[in-house]
Amino acid sequence: MTILRAAALALLTALFCLPAVGQPLGGGSSQSGGGSGSSSSGDSPPGTWFPVETLNDGLPPPPDWVDRRTPQGAVESFLDAMSSNAPEVAAHMLDLTAIPPEEQLERGATLAAHLDAVLDRRAIISWRQLLGRPDALNAGQASSAAMSGEPRRSLLIGVLDDGDREAAIRLNRVKPEDGDPVWVFSQRTVSQIPSLYDQYGPTELEKSLPGWLKRETFFGPRVFEAIGLPLVLIAAGIAGWLTYKVFAMLSRRATGYWSRVALRAIRWPLIIIVTTTVILALALEVLTVSGKVASVLTPATLIAYVIAVLMFTMSLLDTALNRIVTLDADSLSDPENSTVRNYATVMTAARRATILLGCLVGLGIVLSSANAFRSLGFSLLASAGALTLIIGFAARHVLGNILASLQIAINRSARIGDLIIFEGVFATVERIHFTYIQLHTWDDNRVVVPVSHFISDKFENWSMESGGKICWNKMTLHQHADVDAIREAFLDLADDHPDVTRDDDCKALVLGHDAFGITVRFQYRVEDANKVWATQCDMGERIMKEAQRLESETDRRMLPDTGIGDMSD
């Protein structure tokens, strides 16, 4: 199956929450005949067997050790016969009804040998799921399953790619008129053996190897695989290194901005694709490695392709992000850059969403394309199975933070570059990551806040709306102070200060008085939130100096001088 077909299949399954696209090797079951080539009579009980007139009349009687009563026994007998170099015995486990009796012995042995080669190279048989009872009834199956408590007459052993379609390897339970019911590879499976062998059988290179190179090693792979796989990795490494050198040369010669961007965007993805393709071609097409090795290589290469595509997409997004907006928090915090802050926040959220979606799609492609994991696929993400619940429970905090970070980007409660007060700390939102928010505080430190904690607590956002901020300084004046004079002086200060806007909010209000003096609040508007704190300090100092000046010029007390001794009097 091509990557395009796998991606489409994974996406459709995720959208419609359908069951997995295939079955695990040795696990599936169906009540359909799967192309057995036998028609069930109307009076035969469903799910028991397929009645046939005769079965393999052209073969001699099978040896006594051949057990075709159960699915497990049939597969074991087939593999035992092939390991004993007895393909004519293994032919008894094939439904040869479509072959003339006089040709069944010769062609059956050939087909059995070819099927054994296909299974060895591309199939991983799950013995736990090959049932050892004649009716193949799965007593341990959940009661909610469609075939719970029902006998089977057809079992799906595996699914393999056969050109532009998939080929199902099935065991059918058939009963000849003059014999007992037995389990054999279905007639449809037998008819597909030649095309599967042409695709997955030994290559000309393997056929030319001496016999000792085809023997299995003590750790599993055959001798030529143990020798060839390191050579394949070395060849892939050389191919990747040459690709890197080509890009390095092109980068030195590139002069335009977009040519450099393009080279930077496709360099590492193309290196990964070239390296992976070399491994895939040499291991699966030249060496034709066994099913155990292929079951590891196929998902690994698919993961590499997904990573390459994801890296390319991320490179394009990062280039667009750097081209359109700046991520410098100091520049973004400028009140004039409100729109830029929106762009920066949305684009970084799009980047995170793309990574998340790419990982999910990549996982679905890998699981739905690897025969060893046919039962998982994208439906794992949508099902309510135990494994999904366990994973979801374990990762609930991480997933919650990821979704919360996307929520912040959607509702724009905090944007990159916004000035906020969070838990009493004045800071600038510097980065919004998957699971945490990075704040740049006024003293040039960094505060890392989990996203879930950030959105669950209230905070002040000084940059959410334009129009500045009303600032104030509270001062205690003498009981006999001239409030009107200090008010006029304050208004003159507001007119002269470059960061203060003189409007209706600019006032000097008497809040009250006590034994210490009169409490006056001087309030004014500052348009630039970045300059609020500095302006407050500066205005407080200027008001104090004006009060001192008025006191010296008018000889009227403006500032209190009451101490502990005066209060005791």
Residue 336 confidence (pLDDT): 60
Residue 19 confidence (pLDDT): 37
- Among residues 175, 201, 227, which one ends one of the domains? 201
Distance CA 455, CA 465 (A): 19
- Among residues 256, 272, 287, which one ends one of the domains? 287
Residue 141 and residue 196 in one domain: yes
Is the entire prediction scored with pTM above 0.75? no
In a domain, 385, yes or no: no
**DSSP secondary structure string, 403-421?**
HHHHHHHHHTSS-TT-EEE
Residue 86 confidence (pLDDT): 92
- Among residues 148, 181, 201, which one ends one of the domains? 201
In a domain, 455, yes or no: no
In a domain, 270, yes or no: yes
CATH of the domain at 527: 3.30.70.100
Residue 186 and residue 53 in one domain: yes
Residue 323 confidence (pLDDT): 67
In a domain, 492, yes or no: yes
* Cα 326 from chain centroid (whole Å): 27
β partners of residue 183: 173
**H/E element, 432:** strand 425-432
What tokens appear for 179 in the block?
A: 């014999």
Distance CA 311, CA 436 (A): 22
Chunked into runs of 10 residues, the chain (569 residues) has average pLDDT values of 43 39 40 41 58 90 91 92 92 92 92 90 72 73 61 83 82 89 93 89 73 70 78 91 91 81 85 91 75 73 84 77 60 62 72 74 66 42 49 64 75 82 87 83 87 84 77 90 91 91 87 89 88 90 92 88 52
Residue 50 and residue 185 in one domain: yes
**Domain with 225 in it:** 212-287
Given a contact cutoff of 8 angstroms between Cβ atoms, the answer to whether 188 and 400 are in contact is: no
> In Å, how far are 321, 523, 536, 543 from 550, measured between CA atoms?
56, 20, 21, 11
Residue 106 and residue 174 in one domain: yes
Residue 99 confidence (pLDDT): 92
In a domain, 256, yes or no: yes
Query: Which residues fall within 8 angstroms of residue 171, CB to CB, at 6 or more apart?
Result: 71, 74, 75, 154, 155, 157, 183, 184, 185, 186
Residue 111 confidence (pLDDT): 94
Residue 272 and residue 162 in one domain: no
Alpha helix segments (H runs only) across 32-181: 71-83, 87-90, 101-122
Residue 171 and residue 102 in one domain: yes
Residue 82 and residue 223 in one domain: no
Provide φ and ψ at 135, rounded to 5°: -85, 0
In a domain, 135, yes or no: yes
Given a contact cutoff of 8 angstroms between Cβ atoms, the answer to whether 502 and 480 are in contact is: no
Residue 188 and residue 274 in one domain: no
Residue 141 and residue 269 in one domain: no
Residue 181 and residue 270 in one domain: no
Domain count, the chain: 3
> Cα angle vertex 176, ends 172, 180, to 5°?
80
Residue 252 and residue 132 in one domain: no
In a domain, 114, yes or no: yes
Residue 497 and residue 527 in one domain: yes
Residue 458 confidence (pLDDT): 87
What tokens appear for 519 in the block?
A: 């409490």
